[in-house]
Amino acid sequence: MNISELNREREILYSGHSACPGCGAVLTVRHMTRTLGPDIAMVITASCWSIIAGMPPLTALKCPILHCPFPSAGSVGGGLKRGLIAKGHLDTTVVVLAGDGGTFDIGLQALSGAAQRNEDYIFICYDNEAYMNTGMQTSSATPYGARTNTAPYPLFKEGQKKNIMQIMAAHSIPYAATATVAFPDDMERKLKKAKEIKGFRFIHILSPCPPGWGAESSDTIHLSRLAVTTGFFPLYEIYNGITWKLTSPPDMKGTPLNEYLDSQKRFNKMDQIRRKALQEEVDHDWSCLMDRCEASVDTD
């Protein structure tokens, strides 16, 4: 998609928001709101987006936004959808927006409960791989080997990034997908698909954070693409927890992981042993994903 092709009339996010330049989470929400809008109601949990949305009564988003406490997003979303239905607003799409902390960590219980109940809304996790709103502290979405303010050099984030997609798939929800802003067509298609489906839908979006990752503001799209082409963040969909489908370009995963790591300061003290370990982890996850996709019966 060429950015000039964007239909301005569909725009729900305006300029004047308070994100850092080049923030991946803003592009994420821009695509998301354009695709799902205009009849949407958003729930935003504690995250950079609590600030980006603006200081009430002002806001950069042209829709109702309900802010809520950190661990509660999963449940507030379900309550809001049910409340809207009780009040006769049957068609409004409820979107819950959470960062990785509000999804992988403190938000996980309510998210799991809502997924298990198959609550009828779309949960969007914009994953910048740390607590960026408070200045980059380790979350369970932080990749192995990265440095953060709670794992400063000579420490590194130990342990793998939690595999949230496998967790969500285990709930057998109707639809789950990954996306990045480097592939807006793919993201838009997935959001449209999510909108058509009833029940719990989960979209995991990798959202580069220039200050947190130690990258230029102009690198956001480049990094999002590298994350995909190195296989670090594959693009795929999961239907009902059983049908796995790779959706990214066929030549995906040809780039060595080092290229991705070298583009960000958070990895620049990472030694060769750790780099090798992370490459092996990425390769292993990739082959597991391929196995799953091959074993899946296409029901689409």
Partner 1 sequence: MPFELMSGNQAAAAAVQRAGVDLVAAYPITPQTAIVETLADYSANGLLKGEFVSVESEYSALACCNGAVAAGARVFTATSSHGLAFMHEMTQWCSGARFPIVMVNVNRAIGAPWVLDPDQGDSLSQRDTGWMQIYCSGAQEVFDTVLQAFVLSEELLLPCMVVFDGFYISHTYEVVDIPEEETVRKFIKPPTFEAQVQPGRQKNIHGLTAGENQHLLVRKRHEDMLKALNLLEKINEDYHKIFGRSYKAVYAEIPEGAETAVVAAGATAETVRWNLPKLTGTGLIQLRMFRPFPSDQLCKIFSDHKIKRLIVIDRNCSTGVGGIFAQEIKSAIYKMDKPPVVNDLILAGGIDLTGDMLKKVIEDSHLADKSEDKWGVDIQ
Q: Per CB under 6 A, does 223 bind ligand SF4?
A: no
Identify the three-state secondary structure at position 243. strand
Identify the three-state secondary structure at position 93. strand
Q: Per CB under 6 A, does 20 bind ligand SF4?
A: yes
Q: Which is nearer to ligand SF4, 19 or 43 (CB)?
A: 19
* Stretch of 17-25, 87-95, 113-121, 221-229 lying at the interface with ligand SF4 (CB under 6 A): 17-25
State the minimum distance, in angstroms, from the CB of residue 204 to ligand SF4: 15
Q: Which is nearer to ligand SF4, 109 or 149 (CB)?
A: 149
State the minimum distance, in angstroms, from the CB of residue 22 to ligand SF4: 7
Bridge partner list, 230: none
The answer to whether 121 and 201 have CB atoms below 8 angstroms apart is: yes
Q: Give residue 101's identity as a one-letter amino acid code.
A: G
State the minimum distance, in angstroms, from the CB of residue 281 to partner 1: 31
> Which residues within the stretch 130-149 sit at the binding site for ligand SF4 (CB under 6 A)?
132-133
Q: Per CB under 8 A, does 108 bind partner 1?
A: no
Q: Per CB under 6 A, does 23 bind ligand SF4?
A: yes
Token pair 């949960």 in the structure block, residue: 123
The answer to whether 40 and 92 have CB atoms below 8 angstroms apart is: yes
CA distance linking residue 118 with residue 106, whole number of Å: 20
CA distance linking residue 234 with residue 248, whole number of Å: 7
Q: Which is nearer to ligand SF4, 25 or 261 (CB)?
A: 25
Q: Per CB under 6 A, does 212 bind ligand SF4?
A: yes
Exactly one of 32, 41, 48, 169 binds ligand SF4 (CB under 6 A); that residue is: 48
Q: Per CB under 6 A, does 25 bind ligand SF4?
A: yes
Burial pattern 40-68, b for ≥16 Cβ within 10 A else e, equals: bbbbbbbbbbbebbeeeeebbbebebbbb
Q: Is 19 left (phi over 0), alpha (psi -120 to 50) or beta?
A: beta
What is the secondary structure of 135-182 as a DSSP string? T-B--TTSPTT--BTTB-TT----SPPP-HHHHHHTTT-SEEEEEETT
* Stretch of 79-87, 160-168, 177-185, 212-220 lying at the interface with partner 1 (CB under 8 A): 79-87
The answer to whether 208 and 228 have CB atoms below 8 angstroms apart is: no
Interacting residue ranges for ligand SF4, rule: CB under 6 A: 19-20, 23, 25, 48, 52, 128, 132-133, 209-212
Interacting residue ranges for partner 1, rule: CB under 8 A: 38-39, 41, 43-44, 50-51, 53-59, 61-69, 71-72, 74-84, 86-87, 89, 92, 109-110, 112-113, 116-117
